[in-house]
Structure 1
Amino acid sequence: MAVRINPYLVLNGNAEEAIKFYAEALGGTIHGIIKFGDNPFPGMPEEVKDRVMHAHLTIGDSALMFSDTYPGQEYTVGNQVTVTLQVDSVAEAERLYAALAEGAQKIEMPLQKTDWSPAYASLTDKFGIPWQLNTNAEH
């Protein structure tokens, strides 16, 4: 049985900006952005209509899903979800690191050689999403 794990990132009103940023920074393809207003239901507050209800982005053969919170839904920035990008070359790691580190809230570990990777980094990007970047060891 094949199982895919898709990280689902919930943001607080800036999911559309994040999707577009990640598509550009990571060379991804946006497969759809559905806003709450695209499927209105009775009593929907006006302020929620432009928020993202669901979006899908692919990067290579991996996927990220996104949504915004709904008014009244608790939103806490945290490290409960970490997205790990596994790459095959140091050059690709350098490109991705430069893109994600731009405006980052925190660089936990700058891109560097480690015992397990020729180029590894850990950071929290400008949207508060924690990322790890791991380069496959060259054999």
Structure 2
Amino acid sequence: MAMQLTPYLTMDGNAKEAIAFYKEALEAEIVYMQTFGEMPENPEFPLPPEMKDRVSYASLKVGESEFMFSDAFPGQKQQMGGMLSICLTTDDAEKTERIFNALCKGGIIEMPLQKTFFSPAYGMVTDKFGVLFQVFTKALQ
């Protein structure tokens, strides 16, 4: 049986901004994006007007992986960061550096990109959305 682990970010009304940011920073492709307003109406659960433009579901293709998003309903508490980090792995140190630098825009460098005993280029950055990324280049064997 195949198994896949996919990061899913629930944003606080800024999913479209995050999707655009990650699309550029990670050279990703938007596979699907739908707003709450584009969903079929349900008279039993009327949609508040402020939700119509928020993202109900979106998927980005990042290399061979998928990255999913949605927006929370107003008032639904979202905790930035938490106990999750996303490890983004490449086989090219130049690509790792480009991605790391893109994720740093508006973010906080937790560990500068550097050569380590396990990688020719490894660093950690919390991006402007509070998501912690470990950016990693596989060591050539």
| TM-score grouping bracket, smaller chain normalisation | over 0.9
- Note if contact 2:12-2:74 (Cα within 8 Å) is conserved in structure 1: no
Asked if the contact 1:7–1:81 (Cα under 8 Å) also holds between the matched residues in 2, the reply is: no
Q: Please give the alpha-carbon distance, in whole angstroms, between the structure 1 residues aligned to 2:117 and 2:11.
A: 34
For 2:128 and 2:23, locate their aligned partners in 1 and report how far apart those are by CA, in whole Å.
15
2:19 corresponds to 1:16? no
Large movers: runs of 4+ above 4 Å: none
Distance 1:69 1:130 in 2: 20
Report the alpha carbon displacement of residue 133 of structure 1 after superposing the two structures with TM.
0.5
RMSD: 1.1
Alignment: residue pair count: 138
Measured in 2, the distance between the counterparts of 1:24 and 1:119 equals 20
1:8-53 residue CA offsets vs partner (Å, 9 max, x unmatched):
0111011011111111111111011111111133321101111101
**More deviation in 78-87 or 4-13?**
78-87
- Name the structure 2 match of 1:131: 133
SS in 2 for 1:100: helix
Q: Percent identity?
A: 47
1:53-72 Cα deviation digits (max 9, x unpaired): 10000011100000011123
Letter in 1 for 2:89: Q
Matching residue within 52, 55, 74 for 1:52 = 55
Tell me the secondary structure at the aligned position of residue 134 of structure 1. strand
In 2: Cα distance, 1:71 partner to 1:80 partner: 23
| 1:126 partner SS | coil
Unaligned runs of 5+ in 1: none
**1:53-132 alignment to 2 at 5 Å?**
53-104=56-107, 106-132=108-134
Q: TM-score, normalised by structure 2?
A: 0.93
